[in-house]
């Protein structure tokens, strides 16, 4: 019984673990991101003796949700991906209170089981682990850990990295971008290794896991225009991670479109300011914000170096799209992010349809002019 929680990375980590274990066993996994207690209760009735492994995603929007899920299905393997500001508005703006709510997994799981934590996440130090009697494993990119990634390289289709296993450096590849996804893969590698899964099986599972929709999905249009769709959800840490991906794969003009990040409560203004300043410092050429709270991101970006022409705020989606249409030139990479309720996927569709069709029309017109010139000769 494997349960995954955390402020970000739950669904991807769950999918990676399940993809590996499915190559050996009959596995039950959480459908999509149906991770609140009501869904866990329903799923508990679908698990049977034919399943050798169960991989579940435990989410929360308030204290007590994860505790309830553990009462319904008690895990013996727990993963806490990281502790961040998602839903922090429901916890009085306190990251420590978010950590305590995430700690419900540690207290509610089998106390002689296995727990996996992120050694690089500063907020994970607030998790309650002192009374846990089982085995604790850590993952890291930057410091000593049981599962540590090194020699990270970006490829056309994703990322490659090495992990030391049985005193040998083993190379892995995932079809995803963003260093945060390497943490997710490290959790999957760690869980699988502790369950005795071979390196080859792990490698195949990671290369073929089911990538969640609207989470850093890259669409390639004509004229080397790329769109990064990260519109499923948003919080400040996830937004900064998405900006890192934009900086890493955007070779020409880089545009960041940010819709409001919701459920931040008193932390909303500060959270948006952090993201705006981060974008200005990390190779974003244009920041376009949409909504009410995201104007704080735009203002922080201007204070951090972007001009008022480069950083603009919109309250009207059509005006936002018109600005995007004008800004998008060949070799432009556009990151679109925002909370689910902001429906920023509409902007992704606009770019794909309108800008993509414009590029096709431009190509067709050039071909026609070339044909006409040939006829005259």
What is the predicted pLDDT for the residue at 86?
Answer: 83
pLDDT in tens, 151-180: 999 988 999 999 999 999 999 999 999 999
Q: For residue 212, what pLDDT is reported?
A: 86
**Please, what's the largest Cα pairwise distance for the chain?**
85
Q: How far is CA 257 from CA 93, 183, 261, in A?
A: 25, 25, 12
The pLDDT, as a whole number, for residue 374 is: 53
Q: Rounded distance, CA 41 to CA 38, Å?
A: 5
Residues of the chain with pLDDT under 70: 356, 358-377
Would you call 74 helix, strand, or coil by DSSP? coil
Q: Measured between alpha carbons, how far is 124 from 266 in angstroms, rounded to an integer?
A: 21
pLDDT of 367 reads 47
- Which strands form 168-174's sheet, in the order they lie side by side? 27-29, 53-57, 2-5, 77-80, 114-118, 135-140, 147-154, 159-165, 168-174
């Amino acid at each position: 019984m494997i349960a995954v929680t955390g402020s970000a990375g739950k669904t991807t980590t769950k999918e990676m673990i399940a993809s590996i274990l499915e190559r050996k066993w009959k596995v039950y996994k959480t459908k999509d991101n149906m991770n609140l207690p009501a869904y866990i209760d329903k799923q508990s009735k679908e698990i049977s003796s034919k399943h050798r492994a169960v991989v579940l995603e435990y989410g929360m929007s308030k204290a007590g949700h994860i505790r309830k899920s553990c009462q319904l299905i008690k895990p013996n393997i727990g993963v806490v991906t990281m502790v961040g500001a998602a839903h922090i508005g429901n916890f009085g703006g306190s990251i420590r209170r978010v950590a305590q709510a995430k700690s419900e997994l540690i207290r509610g799981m089998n106390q002689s089981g296995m727990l996996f934590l992120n050694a690089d996440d500063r907020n994970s130090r607030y998790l309650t682990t002192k009374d846990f009697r089982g085995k604790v494993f850590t993952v890291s990119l930057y410091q000593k850990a049981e599962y540590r990634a090194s020699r990270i390289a970006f490829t056309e289709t994703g990322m490659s990295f090495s992990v030391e296993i049985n005193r040998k450096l083993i190379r892995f590849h995932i079809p995803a971008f963003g260093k945060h996804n390497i943490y997710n893969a490290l959790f999957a590698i760690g869980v699988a290794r502790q369950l005795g899964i071979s390196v080859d099986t792990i490698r195949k599972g990671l290369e073929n896991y089911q990538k969640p929709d609207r989470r850093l999905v890259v669409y390639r249009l004509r004229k080397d225009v790329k769109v990064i769709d990260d519109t499923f959800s948003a919080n400040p840490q996830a937004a900064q991670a998405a900006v890192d991906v934009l900086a890493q794969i955007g070779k020409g003009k880089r545009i960041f479109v940010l819709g409001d990040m919701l459920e931040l409560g008193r932390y909303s203004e500060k959270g948006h300011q952090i993201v705006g300043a981060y974008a200005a410092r990390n190779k974003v050429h244009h920041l376009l914000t949409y909504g009410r709270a995201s104007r704080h991101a735009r203002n922080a970006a201007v204070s951090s170096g972007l001009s008022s022409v480069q950083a603009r705020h919109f309250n009207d989606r059509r005006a936002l799209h018109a600005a995007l249409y004008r800004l998008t030139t060949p070799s432009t990479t556009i990151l679109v992010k925002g909370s689910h309720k902001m429906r920023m996927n509409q902007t992704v569709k606009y770019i794909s349809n309108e800008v993509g069709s414009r590029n096709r029309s431009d190509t067709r017109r050039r071909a026609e002019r070339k044909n006409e010139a040939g006829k005259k000769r």
